[in-house]
Structure 1
Amino acid sequence: MLLRVVNVSAPSPDASALTSSRRRRLAVIVNPNATTTSPRLRSLVVHALSHRFEVEPVDTEGPRHATELARIAAESGADAVVTLGGDGTVNEAANGLVGTGVPLVPLPGGATNVFHRLIGMPGDIVDATEHVLSLADRWETRAVDVGRIGDRWFTFAAGVGLDASVVDRVDQRPKLKARFGPWFYAAAAVSTFNRHYVRHPPQMILELPDGRSLPGVTAVFQNAPEFTYFASRPVRLLPDQSLDSGTLAGAILRHSRPTVMPGITIRALIPSLDLGRHRAVEAFPGLTSAVVRTADERPLPFQVDGDYVGVTDRAEIGIAPGGLLIVA
């Protein structure tokens, strides 16, 4: 399977400017299966937003549906798309909005809500809804970068290899994911590493613009200060990255011997430590393009923003500086 990158021009930060003579029209995309979302919560949020906005709520019905709904909302003249769900819902909606000039307004409804934290959205749904209501009179959009792997945009992080396999395992057990949160991720990571990556893991090659071809077993790409969160603790794999740097930070794990993982884990959980200084890791900041491909004909699993996407033999990596508008 070959995945390609399509260039998207960054929207103008003023694309969503609107006079205060009418109420803005919000398309509210709700993931009813998100960890902390319920029918009652949906009704409360929609009712509250209706005091200041024209609200058009719609529920997602399956994978990638939020992308379609966001694209339809943009084409039909919505002033913004609000998501009520986790990072997966945000990612799908962003994939329908990149380059349209219609901003995204994410409300927290998932377990981790990484992107919400990164852009300063309150973590409590009541506080976040009140915050959005307060924006009705001071509506300002902000342009943020979006990375791309294959045919999927990502708002803060993507990975190929081990972390994608872990996400796949976690996503297959939504009840355990909801009940135990980061601890289930940790258990899944240990189990997946020991079962599939200690012996004969899938091999990959990362091709960089400077001509280097780096072999390894896992590659990660970061578009934001944090790669994810472990409960309230930030997991900052690669330093000095931001949502408006115009580049990605990346790293490849050369091998997955058992002695590697303790050091990787410590560096991931202590923000002052740099993963790129680990002896088994090759880091590359300031990345704008790359290619990752299989080195042994086995398909490579990949994830975007903490959601498992599937497998690929080859994928191009890219970035659209300022490609997504947000209001937060």
Structure 2
Amino acid sequence: MRAVLVVNPKATTTSERSRDVLVRALRSEVDLSVRYTRRRGHAAMLAREAADEGVDLVVTLGGDGTVNEVVNGLMSARLPSVPTGVSPAERLPALATVPGGSTNVFARALGLPREWPEGASMILEGLRLGRHRTIGLGRADDRYFTFCAGFGLDAAVIHRVERARRRGRVSTPALYFRSTVAQYFLGSDRRRPAIALERPGDATEEQLATVVIQNTAPWTYVGDREVNPNPEASFDLGLDVFALRQLRVASTTRTVSQFFSHQPDPHGRQVLRLHDMTEFTLVANRPQALQLDGEYLGEREKVRFSSAPAALRVIC
């Protein structure tokens, strides 16, 4: 089996020594080539090149941003000609994700351990046993995402965190909490909901303040705790939507606390939840922040979301 390991050398929880250990372990199972990212977007190019070369497996060592780039690279590759009846997912290399970031939502949603040595061991076992699953992806306009997207407040928080990290701050739950509070009270126009959700064959949902889209559950983690606005979201179904109609302090605090309950079921007059959606469009009357898989992508006024079922094979 031919494989390419795409390494983000800035991954927060790995070192050069740990990378060497991983490379030796992988080379005991596959014919491995190692390629390092040098800039934002480079992982997508490396993954597309690997797929075009006909490798069987692409392994990532990095965080959710690296995974997102690799997935988009794979999905943009030229599919080889194969017999009728072979799915697109079977024509692409499989994906294996060794957790190397600070949160690693995608890997953990697949059932992999949080730390990279245990995650790597599970992947090696999966390779030996031929264990994999086929998952669906989400799509925002022409870009894919693996576990979540956000339009509005949560994306603006991620932008604030990214600016803090460029100033040397470390990504921690405390940094996200402070950034959320600052964005909520100082950076949001909470009195004028700007977003509408349009879906084929249904009435438009008007005056939404912020929207979270999930391709699986959980949405994210705070340490070891799952955060679940849409607990029924699944890689095997379409997209789930959670939206708040208002960002009032009392109702927002109450709803957010429901994310963390043992059996989360966020609800209330200000809550909109939609399950297993095939496609919909978010339209805003003023620019809103957009994030995919925890990566800030700038501001948009319109984004079309769709589900891409059974799109990718993953080793887990």
With normalisation by structure 1, the TM-score equals: 0.86
Match of 1:251 in 2: 242
Alpha-carbon distance between aligned partners in 1 of 2:231 and 2:18, rounded to the nearest angstrom: 36
Does structure 1 residue 131 correspond to structure 2 residue 122? yes
Match of 2:315 in 1: 327
Match of 2:7 in 1: 30
1:313 and 1:175, CA in 2 relative to 1: closer, same or farther beyond 3 A?
Answer: closer
Which deviates the most, 213-222 or 154-163?
Answer: 213-222
Match of 2:306 in 1: 318
Which deviates the most, 161-170 or 255-264?
Answer: 255-264
- Contiguous gaps of at least 5 residues in structure 1: 1-23
Alpha-carbon distance between aligned partners in 2 of 1:90 and 1:253, rounded to the nearest angstrom: 29
Name the aligned partner's letter for residue 33 of structure 2: E
Q: Residue 284 of structure 1: CA displacement?
A: 1.2
Q: Deviations over 1:208-245 (max 9, x none)?
A: 22332222121111111211111100001113221112
1:319 and 1:256, CA in 2 relative to 1: closer, same or farther beyond 3 A?
Answer: same
Q: Residue 155 of structure 1: CA displacement?
A: 0.9
Q: Residue 88 of structure 1: CA displacement?
A: 1.0
- Aligned 1:40-79 pairs, distance under 5 A: 40-79=17-56
**Secondary structure of the corresponding residue to residue 249 of structure 2:** coil
Alpha-carbon distance between aligned partners in 2 of 1:243 and 1:127, rounded to the nearest angstrom: 23
Name the aligned partner's letter for residue 36 of structure 1: T
**Secondary structure of the corresponding residue to residue 34 of structure 1:** coil
Q: Residue 104 of structure 1: CA displacement?
A: 0.7
Q: What is the aligned-residue RMSD (CA, Å)?
A: 1.9
Name the aligned partner's letter for residue 292 of structure 1: L
- Contiguous gaps of at least 5 residues in structure 2: 76-87
Q: Number of aligned pairs?
A: 301
1:170 and 1:307, CA in 2 relative to 1: closer, same or farther beyond 3 A?
Answer: same
Match of 1:290 in 2: 280
Does structure 1 residue 240 correspond to structure 2 residue 235? no
1:106 and 1:301, CA in 2 relative to 1: closer, same or farther beyond 3 A?
Answer: same
- Aligned 1:200-219 pairs, distance under 5 A: 203-214=194-205, 215-219=207-211
Alpha-carbon distance between aligned partners in 1 of 2:220 and 2:210, rounded to the nearest angstrom: 16
Alpha-carbon distance between aligned partners in 1 of 2:38 and 2:231, rounded to the nearest angstrom: 37
Name the aligned partner's letter for residue 116 of structure 1: A
Name the aligned partner's letter for residue 191 of structure 1: A
Alpha-carbon distance between aligned partners in 2 of 1:255 and 1:227, rounded to the nearest angstrom: 20
Q: Residue 310 of structure 1: CA displacement?
A: 1.5
Q: Given that residues 165 and 171 in structure 2 are in contact (C-alpha distance below 8 angstroms), is that contact kept between their aligned partners in structure 1?
A: no
Q: Give aligned-pair identity as a percent.
A: 35
Q: Given that residues 97 and 103 in structure 1 are in contact (C-alpha distance below 8 angstroms), is that contact kept between their aligned partners in structure 2?
A: no
Structure number with the bigger relative contact order (C-alpha 8 A, sep ≥ 6) is: 1
Q: Deviations over 1:269-290 (max 9, x none)?
A: 2142322x12211111121100
Name the aligned partner's letter for residue 134 of structure 1: E
Alpha-carbon distance between aligned partners in 1 of 2:202 and 2:126, rounded to the nearest angstrom: 47
Q: Residue 175 of structure 1: CA displacement?
A: 7.1
With normalisation by structure 2, the TM-score equals: 0.89
Alpha-carbon distance between aligned partners in 1 of 2:121 and 2:103, rounded to the nearest angstrom: 20
**Secondary structure of the corresponding residue to residue 243 of structure 1:** coil
1:248 and 1:180, CA in 2 relative to 1: closer, same or farther beyond 3 A?
Answer: closer
Q: Given that residues 35 and 178 in structure 1 are in contact (C-alpha distance below 8 angstroms), is that contact kept between their aligned partners in structure 2?
A: no
